[in-house]
Structure 1
């Protein structure tokens, strides 16, 4: 199982219930600071931050298990760790894109080597003008949203907050929430059937680019796309836990 398999076990709500159980299970008898899940997430973040190999991470898990008291719940291999983390829904899909942003190389264009619009190759060109097959110039990382929405709104409290803008928003003539904006009203007028259901999600999109290598000489750029749910009350909609990555556009 490699990084592309992370999250591919599925989005079964029963599997997600199991990971909630891992979040309540102590790391070892008498430990109150870390649970099995929180410790594993911390360790996996270190692996990603420092570029640790899967073999090295497996050896670290084995060592951690030996250092902790008997009866600890730390996974004993990278495979077991990923099985636990995958139920959090951290899956993604890599989609090649036209370097000029004309198309995504999927569905009818999945096997295309050149963009049907501008004719440019999707593959990276070496210094000697030879194309590197299977090395794309531009890649979009897509993180599926619907499974995450389903898990998020398994919470009754969170699901109830979806209709706050319709049920509890005070009408005082002041703009205190996006529901007061002209854009919100325009959307309701243009698609009245959508506007009638207050539980329909209103999403704001934001993105910006940065150089992932912190080097002015590098041509690489990374553009994360973040979505925010405007259905929620103003004190929740900008909270970090309700901001979701949808896409990462990487250019090399």
Structure 2
């Protein structure tokens, strides 16, 4: 079948392309399968997918014909030459392999050797290469695939076999099964045992590849002088908790625990969800999961490293009474810290005493409030800013403002009047250390746990006096752990969870999308907020100036 193929490179809107496309579709129509589908030779499908004729026509019209598909073997044209490897939409080499002199790999070796010859250390007195690896490669080029083979070398067969794998998109497992069968059928051949072995052989002549890791922010390559680095040289990002200040501070405080690398550091994650979706909105389930940080970061975050220690189901969320359910877990953590357990080290076949400690918890903001006992829905909701939290009551909701305090004192936005009509002169919030937090805990009154009406007590009224107090409602059960009060970082925020919730609400309110009553109320609060924020900023600024006098 002699057909002019030049049309496949023409403009798809030209008359020549359209007329030739119709001719091709008439040919393809004769080669559909039992389901009325035919292989699609467009630049996306590359003959790997079958479609009905209208879909194939649309692909060829919109995407274009694969220019390297010049022998239409999937559409009726007979393939000439069994040794030609251009089976499926790939450039044809037209190199005969039935002659003893055709060995494409000689040219590849010559190219690589020419680059190596630029290094004077690899050249002998008469200018020949003296690299032992390439001497072995030349020997393989002259080695027959099997004793009776006279037209193909071991290395040439390997290159062609990998070529077929690539153009037909074989999986590595399929390649392994094929070479295993060939080795059984031709026991005297030099066929590699697996895909891994084949790649390693070709990598010697620089036909492989090298994996180079990069920073996730696309700011640096871990290559050459940065090849051995674990942190980004630009931002110094933390890749593992061991690089953090909390881990290192703990090691300095508890030297005996730190000197044994087999002692376990644990992280605790807990959150509530409704396993029945919207079918039963009153049901709540809280899984409490531990993970170990003694393993690399790509292992400790895998599901196989998670330990489901507690599952708290019930018609209501445990909320502020979650300490009651955490009692079995905390008792075990106390035992693992004080006594430890006997474990066997399989690597050296010895018994040792393994201890463990809880490094921190990981939660979203509401769950953090339940575990830390710091209320996250009132005036002083920020546990980091503590008593220095800036908040304002807008209609019936709390709003947290004053974020310009975190800028340096000379920042131009501090002088701007666009936010609330007042410049920001307050300093950033204080850093509350562990000693201060322990003093705040000492002022708390004892509270009987549970949701029984007799135990709940009177509801506190929100007034100016309330704002001066901290929002700790109870001493968390984690403070029973000997080391917990000394930890620099006790609770982590699940950033992705918080980011999703905050961003969704922020975008809806900013765009004033009034599709529901909640967003309408949010809009009204924003309108009310303008006057309230200005008056609050003026009052707090005056208080700040008075405190410095």
* Structure showing greater Rg: 2
Give the TM-score normalised by structure 1: 0.34
Give the TM-score normalised by structure 2: 0.17
**Larger helix fraction of residues:** 2
Q: Which has the higher contact order (CA 8 A, sep 6+)?
A: 1
